[in-house]
Amino acid sequence: MTETPDVTSPREVMALFKEYGLQPHKRLGQNFLIDGNTARKITAALEAGAGDAVVEVGPGAGALTVLLARSGVDLLALEVDRGLVMMLEKILEPWPKARVITQDALKVCWAELVRSNFGPTASVKLVSNLPYVISGPFMYSLFEAGFPFRSAVLMLQKEVAHRLVAEPGDSNYGALSVLSGYYTNGKVLFNVSNNVFWPRPKVGSSVLSLQPRKRILTADQEKLMWLIVQGVFQQRRKTMQNNLARLFPFFKTGVSTLLEAASINPLDRPEHLSASQFAKLVLIAYNYINKSS
Ligand code: SAM
């Protein structure tokens, strides 16, 4: 290969796939971006330049990867499909600061990956056109790791992107929205038509930016936050009082006192409470549990 192929041209991507004996795999959510403008809009939103450390998840045929490599960022791309990794290694040869490794992004210890690849004090940005099949578990894994990124720009299935930034009372507000609101400030930047992918997906996409938020809970308190948030949203139509009594039968009589102390109406439902209200409730519940044990 002499010249870098245009990896957003369907004709050139198909020719590369033929050369490397590759096929798009539905089970890996492989819908490749074949529109240079959209790729440029996404990488521009990341605001990363020469010397910035960037992790890309699922580089695929390299629509975002090549643009980032050209801009001189220190790039680590994680791709689960070995065939694509081989193809990308060749495409990325002109840019030694852009590396691609075979890695399942759902099996990563993010803190360790960042530390071992960029150093202990690195401040890393995250970018991805996320495979839809993993977007839920992937987002939970980022939050579980404490969202160890300076910022992120992610293309996601429209519904998931909107759920991540949903407000209390919205019909799509749920556990993922609360955790997202606790760990990050999110904003939907723009929507993307299904027509700019090969193969064309059935669902629409949105590009989302996420910035980490200052967290007020300790690691142990955050564990309690996950337990409470995931627990109460299993029965989102039940009142907070009934939900907490179900989750913590041992402090049944104290539930209304707890809710009162957190300024939460016991008859309110989980879907009406903000991330900050949940965090405040967790602080009070944590102290209560520790005092009574
Ligand atoms: N970034 C490319 C683009 O914009 O055209 C490809 C996006 S495609 C929607 C998602 C990519 O993620 C595919 O290349 C797929 O093989 C890869 N992928 C799927 N599951 C993955 C996982 N668990 N870890 C890492 N990559 C994954």
Q: Specify the pLDDT at position 1.
A: 47
Determine the atom of ligand 1 nearest the C-alpha atom of 59. 1
Separation CA 254–CA 291 (nearest Å): 13
Separation CA 63–CA 109 (nearest Å): 26
Mean pLDDT in the chain? 95
Q: Specify the pLDDT at position 293.
A: 64
Average pLDDT over residues 81-92: 98
Considering the four listed CATH numbers 3.90.1150.10, 1.10.390.10, 1.10.8.100, 3.40.50.300, the one that applies to the domain covering 219-292 is: 1.10.8.100
- 157 Cα to the center of ligand 1, angstroms: 13
Cis peptide before 96 (omega within 30 of 0): no
- Cα dihedral 143, 145, 148, 152 sign: negative
Beta bridge partners of 125: 54, 151
- Domain at 10-212, CATH class: alpha beta
Separation CA 252–CA 104 (nearest Å): 43
Determine the atom of ligand 1 nearest the C-alpha atom of 132. 9
Q: Specify the pLDDT at position 252.
A: 66
Cβ–Cβ under 8 Å, residues 141 and 204: no
| Domain ranges (residues) in the chain | 10-212, 219-292
Average pLDDT over residues 142-170: 97
Question: In the structure encoding, which two tokens stand for residue 70, read together?
Answer: 């050209």
pLDDT one-digit tens code per residue, 181-229: 999 999 999 999 999 999 999 999 999 999 999 999 999 999 999 999 9
Residue 271: pLDDT band by 50, 70, 90 thresholds?
A: very high
User: E-strand spans in the chain?
Assistant: 32-33, 53-57, 74-79, 98-102, 124-129, 151-157, 184-192, 197-198, 205-212
Ligand 1 site, CB within 6 A:
28-33, 57-61, 63-64, 78-81, 84, 104-106, 129, 131, 134
Torsion of CA 47, 51, 52, 54, to 10 degrees: 110
